[in-house]
């Protein structure tokens, strides 16, 4: 049965592998990969999120027991890796925060959505979209605030918080989500034909984004030491979903049919935003890149394990 489950999620990783190999044999040049990544980050994924939030049943989607369980697991993962990095691996404070950010930022859009859909069907994705709503904003708020807090200059701290607020609220992903929720709240709707056309139009976004992600991963610079990346990977792929499971089942009594999508979302490898954050503060880029590369490959096995364990 475990092998059969692995076959279910295999298409996701074949697309990533295809992009990786295409870059390796230079069919995808770095300039083309950068252009595709910018397109999907600036337009493709935001439009996908806008459309799905616009047609989402908001009344059923937002189960705050699940959201609290998931976001709590993120914060705990952040604390674990920040402390491990600082006290055990003797990383500087800012590096430790960056690595904690990496541990808590699971790739819910490019990995969590397609794997959940393949495993449980498109009708189950309301949980995923509810989690996505505050996922990136919370991660950026925690990471940027804790880094800016240690800077001595009060003016710079205030400026940093102001910049973080702008980064959270005015990036394209957030705009796509907010527009979709606003469209929904205003009780607007697409005509049946328009919705069908848009649905077909959005079907290609995640497959091509996954292919592009493979190309992006190929051009990452890799760290020479693997101990710290392995600690982050174990926390991201195993500890974080375990926390969601125990909080959801034993603290809130959530039904497994509802909770399982949140567990799968928590079990995803760190997303590309973790590298963007490391690049923002110009530290730990090789460690983060190594973590994303290895953990994305391992997710085919760990996601299969979690789907099997939750079945």
Q: What's the average model confidence in pLDDT over 143-152? A: 77
Assign domain 2-310 one CATH number from 1.10.10.10, 3.90.180.10, 1.20.1530.20, 3.30.465.10. 1.20.1530.20
Report yes or no on whether pTM surpasses 0.85.
Answer: yes
Predicted pLDDT of residue 221: 80
User: pLDDT by residue (tens digit) across 88-130?
Assistant: 999 999 999 999 999 999 999 999 999 999 999 999 999 999 9
Predicted pLDDT of residue 171: 81
User: pLDDT by residue (tens digit) across 185-224?
Assistant: 999 989 999 999 999 889 999 999 999 999 999 998 888 7
Provide the Cα torsion 107, 109, 115, 116; round to 10°.
110
Buried b / exposed e over 111-122, threshold 16 CB at 10 Å, is bbbbbbbbbbee
DSSP string, 5-47: HHHHHHHHHHHHHHHHHHHHTTSS-HHHHHHHHHHIIIIIHHH
**Mean pLDDT for all residues in the chain:** 91
**Residue in the structure block whose two tokens are 């989690």:** 131
Closest CA to 268 of 104, 125, 79, 127: 104
Cβ contact 218:23 at 8 Å: yes
Domain boundaries along the sequence of the chain = 2-310
User: pLDDT by residue (tens digit) across 274-305?
Assistant: 998 998 888 999 999 999 999 999 999 999 99
């Amino acid at each position: 049965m475990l092998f059969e489950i692995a076959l279910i999620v295999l298409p996701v990783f074949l697309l990533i592998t295809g992009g990786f190999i295409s870059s390796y044999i230079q069919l995808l040049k770095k300039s083309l990969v950068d252009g595709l990544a910018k397109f999907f980050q600036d337009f493709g994924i935001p439009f996908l999120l806008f459309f799905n939030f616009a047609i989402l049943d908001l009344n059923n989607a937002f189960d705050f027991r699940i959201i609290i369980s998931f976001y709590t697991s993120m914060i705990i993962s952040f604390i674990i890796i920040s402390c491990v990095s600082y006290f055990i691996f003797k990383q500087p404070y800012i590096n430790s925060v960056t690595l904690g950010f990496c541990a808590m930022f699971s790739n819910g859009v490019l990995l969590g959505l397609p794997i959940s859909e393949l495993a449980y069907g498109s009708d189950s994705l309301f949980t995923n979209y509810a989690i996505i709503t505050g996922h990136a904003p919370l991660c950026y708020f925690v990471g940027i605030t804790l880094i800016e807090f240690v800077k001595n200059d009060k003016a710079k701290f205030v400026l940093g918080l102001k910049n973080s607020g702008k980064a959270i609220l005015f990036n394209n992903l957030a705009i796509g989500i907010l527009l979709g929720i606003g469209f929904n709240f205003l009780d607007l709707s697409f005509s049946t034909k328009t919705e069908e056309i848009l649905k077909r139009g959005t079907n290609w976004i995640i497959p091509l984004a996954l292919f592009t992600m493979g190309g992006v991963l190929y051009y990452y610079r890799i760290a020479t030491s693997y101990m710290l990346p392995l600690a982050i990977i174990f926390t991201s792929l195993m500890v974080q979903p375990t926390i969601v499971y125990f909080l959801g089942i034993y603290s809130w009594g959530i039904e497994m049919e509802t909770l399982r999508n949140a567990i799968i979302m928590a079990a995803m490898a760190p997303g590309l935003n973790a590298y963007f954050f490391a690049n923002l503060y110009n530290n730990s880029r090789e460690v983060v890149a190594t973590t994303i590369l290895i953990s994305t490959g391992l997710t085919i096995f760990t996601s299969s394990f979690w789907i099997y364990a939750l079945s």
